[in-house]
A and B are shown apart, each in its own frame.
Chain A
């Protein structure tokens, strides 16, 4: 696929990332080379099925414990309303 400034811009939108005007063309120039390099994997044919990730934790009872961190966390909020984080409107 052709990776141009528009593709890069679209991908950035998907990632909720604005690019500065000078960044999109630079990335558009660099990305095709990188993607071509990693794309060499496509030349390997295999039917192997990777094992699912191993989670090795013992089970425990679901016991509610107080969390001391709540106030510390809320104190870092860029904008808050009591115990809510406040954000600009969605629309």
Chain B
């Protein structure tokens, strides 16, 4: 039986943070899961249309399930800044 971590992530029966779409386990709950996802990183101004007149150094990070390509989370960041890390204690 899975438990919800976010709209895109569940806690699997094995105690892992898992993709809600396909069940792919990323890592044990409690560890940061983003390093285990596929990362698409590109300038935000290229990611969403002409209205995005952001400075080119600002990136959009998309964390993707390595199995089914479901989009698990996004972040806006400067390249030198670390990933945001959320932990749900279930």
Is the pairing of A and B real?
A: no
Q: Show the binding face of B for A, using Cβ within 8 Å.
A: none
